[in-house]
Structure 1
Amino acid sequence: MSNGAKRGGGLLVAGTTSDAGKSVVTAGICRWLSRQGVKVAPFKAQNMSLNSFVTREGAEIGRAQAMQAQAARVEPTALMNPVLLKPGSDRSSQVVLLGKPVGEMSARGYHGGRQEQLLGVVTDCLEELRGTYDAVICEGAGSPAEINLRRTDIVNMGIARAARFPVVVVGDIDRGGVFASFFGTTALLSPEDQSLIAGYLVNKFRGDVSLLEPGMEMLRGLTGRATYGVLPYRHGLGIDEEDGLRVSLRGAVRESVVAPPVGEDVLRVAVCAVPLMSNFTDVDALAAEPGVVVRFVDRPEELTDADLVVVPGTRGTVKALAWLRERGLADALAARAAAGRPVLGICGGFQVLGERIEDEVESRAGTVDGLGLLPVRVRFEREKTLARPVGSALGEAVEGYEIHHGVAEVLGGTPFLDGCRVGEVWGTHWHGSLESDGFRRAFLREVAAAAGRRFVPAADTSFGELRERQLDLLGDLIEEHADTAALLGLIEGGAPTGLPFLPPGAP
């Protein structure tokens, strides 16, 4: 490293639970190291997520790893997330290996047979990154203390053991019980795994840190391990979240905190929270606009006051179509279209707005009637489209990315990106298009005009700059509230030696 740490070092960020803050902490460490002139890369051996991204090489990886690569100021690649699992139901997922889908597999089948082979793949990817970068910051998944899965683990202690990386465990104190979680997580591990648990990071703390100090001292006395920092609670840091399945519908609002509306009115956006919702991060660029309020909804009456309704991507297009009909949302969307009120379908949401879907791949449901709001017919192919298209719409340059099995045959309407527009119903396969500032502003002007709102998009909102500011905030959290010298020491030298073993159940 340019600041004295040796080439090829690293660290694994684990968590006491899912959503403890591993992704945010990993991104924060990457941004902090990048500021120090360290050439750093993120890594997550195995990710389960419906929010994914397409790299410039045409590989599909988790959006969280793409965000962490941006935090590290490097180009994301498939090496950074070699295994991506995309749930299609409670019991099966599509397996994406090195950026390409290799088939569907049940949870039992996945954990029962492929792990030894996959461990070789992920360790090879990690070693390639270590040969290129000064440091690699790995993110774990769930908890390393999921002892029912330890034998087949390739993302937590499995990869830490293979690389001999020290592990810092993150705990969300906002949930409560963080000290018990730290102790229990450590105590449940084998002696070999415990030898790599270097210490802990408290996340999402509200209040006076001095009140925590007695607990941290007691924890050190019980475990022999230090707490490397207490990160304060910060709103608006859950960028590029991994799982759309966990979006809470009631009160789920993404509202601009940048500034009040530029015009006289706000613009209200309702996002249909379809089953297996994917890449719901598409609407983050809308929520970044001053005066735009974005809500996730699941009832037709919630569309009544919406100026724009978005039908987002989904890993289950036919399932989402049935859900829209069962909930009465399909009729509400048809009524909006007839009244000339704006609707935008993205990827799977675009597909359900069409006339017909032929699916022998994803749902194997055969031919299914769509909502008939766009003159489009969709046929699912086994080969997945993974692309980074560029183009123009509404007189503005647009960039996006495509992730879909469905191939759309557009039979009419006005061309719109790779899809079409009929009246105020718009459809495209392009994720991320709303991050193009000029296009987003032009689109919102069209929506406001159709909705009769005196809404004016801000002329200077840059989604890219806002994202950079968020990533800088993550770096600030680490730099200002973590023991960065100790973290750098772990990255350089590995876990401290002589750490005590805690027999399970011991005080």
Structure 2
Amino acid sequence: MRGIMIQGTSSDAGKSLITTALCRMFALEEMKVTPFKSQNMSNNSYVTVDGKEIGRAQGIQAEAAMIEASVWMNPILLKPRSDLQSEVVLFGKSVKMLSGRDYRETYYEKGLEAIQSSLAYLDKEYDLVIIEGAGSPAEINLNDRELVNMKVAELADVPVILVADIERGGVFANIVGTLELLSSKERKRVQGLIINKFRGDVALFQDGVKWLEEKTGIPVFGVLPYIDNHGIDGEDSLSIKNHYGKRSGAIDIAVIDVSYLLNYSDIEPFAYEEDVSIRFVKDSSEFGNPDAVIIPDTQNTLCEMNAIREKKLEQEIINFVKTGGYIVGISSGFQILGTEIIDQTQTDAEKGIQAEQSKGMNLISARTFLNLEKNTTRVKGKYHSHTKLKRRKPIEGFEIHSGKTEVLEEAGSFLELDSGRSEGYYGHNGKIIGTYVHHLFHHDEW
């Protein structure tokens, strides 16, 4: 295969950004280039044009390569639902929930087969494949059944570039230590090093470059500067929470800090609004007096509703809305704003098991029925005529959710989709909004 693989000495070393950059660089050279990541673990996902779900990073990399994203670019997506279980998405479709142990023991061969078929397809369809690894190739406890780093480089038979994050500190130990933990066969695949996220005068690091090259015998291909607000969606929600926690602005927006946050890229456009301060609120003591509240999407609606109640955030939010505050609920957040949530996935009449139910916040008179069927689709539309917004510019986004919400009150919808379907809830002159559409805030007007 004609290609190259980007691996890192750790998570968040910059693999996704560098892969994205290489996809664009080769595309500008008029090569037919594609990204590939065998297995992604992220709750930040991307909906392909045919309604399949892959890691968001690979979707953005496909855009950089000037091609449509497909499931062949990310055949396996793991979406953590708890500390012990993840949702397994295979070739864009959710197949089951598995623990880490069960996945390693029962899904390794199936995963290997999916990766091999994907590589064969991409090799046939593209001139060049830019492969992204995951975490570190030196995870000794996982190496016997790993599907993301050196095993993939071996299957594709491509050279590896190793990336290290200098901002974290310990860059020399990270590089040398990683190489020392690789087998001699694996180490031979590493053809170059990249130092990422460098701040200051790069001339001051030339001695470091020389030392690394002499110590490892591997050339340093480049020292890349730290780039803030580069616009490439991350895969780790921790980085976005840390970033916004340090900001200050005249407009205070409180985002409820849900567990297993889904599609946190919904919040990222606020990074470009200097007068907006985003803060993640964990409990009632942190709520304060915001100008607006966002309840984002989460992997488990019922658990999150109960957690919000236990943390005494529910009453804070209800009081906020009753006194004229603005609130937006996205996907699970929309469900939480309703009257009742009924989890039909727990229903088994033959065994006498009833559907699990929970009361919502009752800020919207609506009932949500959760089920196993997952809706993944791109959508286009405009603000519903009910909203009386003077400028009804087009809205584009995507839906990724299980379940259906029935609005019980006589109220207007939020969006009017091109498919003819009315979507969401718009009430109290826009002070309460619920929607299943992600990337609402990516539209400047809104």
TM value normalised by structure 2: 0.90
Would you say the 8 A contact 2:244–2:278 is kept in 1?
A: no
CA distance in 1: counterparts of 2:42 and 2:174, whole angstroms:
24
Equivalence for 1:446: none
Amino acid at match of 1:274: V
CA distance in 2: counterparts of 1:116 and 1:59, whole angstroms:
22
Would you say the 8 A contact 2:244–2:277 is kept in 1?
A: no
Aligned residue among 412, 415, 431 for 2:413: 415
Check if 1:389 corresponds to 2:386.
no
Would you say the 8 A contact 1:64–1:242 is kept in 2?
A: yes
Would you say the 8 A contact 2:373–2:403 is kept in 1?
A: no
Would you say the 8 A contact 1:255–1:287 is kept in 2?
A: no
Q: Number of aligned pairs?
A: 423
What is the 5 A alignment of 1:170-319? 170-237=163-230, 239-245=232-238, 247-248=240-241, 252-253=245-246, 266-289=250-273, 291-300=275-284, 302-319=286-303
Aligned residue among 331, 338, 350 for 2:334: 350
Aligned residue among 426, 437, 440 for 1:433: 440
CA distance in 1: counterparts of 2:256 and 2:158, whole angstroms:
42
CA distance in 1: counterparts of 2:432 and 2:328, whole angstroms:
6
CA distance in 1: counterparts of 2:278 and 2:14, whole angstroms:
23
**Tell me, what secondary structure is at the counterpart of 1:333?**
helix
TM value normalised by structure 1: 0.79
Equivalence for 2:351: none
**Tell me, what secondary structure is at the counterpart of 1:390?**
strand
The Cα shift of 1:362 comes to 8.5
**For the structure 1 residues 402 and 254, does the alpha-carbon distance in structure 2 shift closer, same or farther, using more than 3 Å as the test?**
farther
The Cα shift of 1:74 comes to 1.6
Aligned residue among 358, 366, 389 for 1:368: 358
Equivalence for 2:152: 159
> Which digits, 9 at most, give the CA deviation of each residue in 1:42-86, with x for residues without a partner?
111100001111111110011111111122222111111110000
Equivalence for 1:444: none
CA distance in 1: counterparts of 2:86 and 2:381, whole angstroms:
32
Would you say the 8 A contact 2:166–2:197 is kept in 1?
A: yes
CA distance in 1: counterparts of 2:290 and 2:363, whole angstroms:
18
Deviates more, 1:89-98 or 1:270-279: 270-279
CA distance in 2: counterparts of 1:313 and 1:245, whole angstroms:
15
> Which digits, 9 at most, give the CA deviation of each residue in 1:148-191, with x for residues without a partner?
11111111111100011111111001111111111111111112
Equivalence for 1:341: 325
The Cα shift of 1:351 comes to 0.8
Deviates more, 1:278-287 or 1:141-150: 278-287
CA distance in 2: counterparts of 1:80 and 1:254, whole angstroms:
35
Would you say the 8 A contact 1:362–1:380 is kept in 2?
A: no
**Identity of matched residues, %:** 42
Would you say the 8 A contact 1:34–1:72 is kept in 2?
A: yes
Check if 1:108 corresponds to 2:101.
yes
The Cα shift of 1:255 comes to 7.2
**Tell me, what secondary structure is at the counterpart of 1:322?**
helix
**For the structure 1 residues 397 and 250, does the alpha-carbon distance in structure 2 shift closer, same or farther, using more than 3 Å as the test?**
closer
Check if 1:405 corresponds to 2:389.
no
Would you say the 8 A contact 2:339–2:365 is kept in 1?
A: yes
Larger RCO, structures 1/2 (Cα 8 Å, 6+ apart): 1
The Cα shift of 1:419 comes to 1.4
CA distance in 1: counterparts of 2:279 and 2:230, whole angstroms:
18
What is the 5 A alignment of 1:90-169? 90-169=83-162
CA distance in 1: counterparts of 2:32 and 2:26, whole angstroms:
8
Equivalence for 1:322: 306
Equivalence for 2:54: 61
CA distance in 1: counterparts of 2:394 and 2:231, whole angstroms:
28
> Which digits, 9 at most, give the CA deviation of each residue in 1:352-384, with x for residues without a partner?
111111114399971111111111111111111
Q: For structure 2, which runs of at least 5 residues remain unmatched after alignment?
A: 348-353, 384-388, 416-422
Would you say the 8 A contact 1:299–1:327 is kept in 2?
A: yes
Aligned-residue RMSD, C-alpha: 2.1
Would you say the 8 A contact 1:255–1:288 is kept in 2?
A: no
CA distance in 2: counterparts of 1:99 and 1:255, whole angstroms:
38
Would you say the 8 A contact 2:39–2:78 is kept in 1?
A: yes
**For the structure 1 residues 409 and 392, does the alpha-carbon distance in structure 2 shift closer, same or farther, using more than 3 Å as the test?**
same
CA distance in 2: counterparts of 1:181 and 1:217, whole angstroms:
16
> Which digits, 9 at most, give the CA deviation of each residue in 1:431-456, with x for residues without a partner?
01332344x1xxxxxxxxxxxxxxxx
Q: For structure 1, which runs of at least 5 residues remain unmatched after alignment?
A: 1-7, 257-265, 441-507
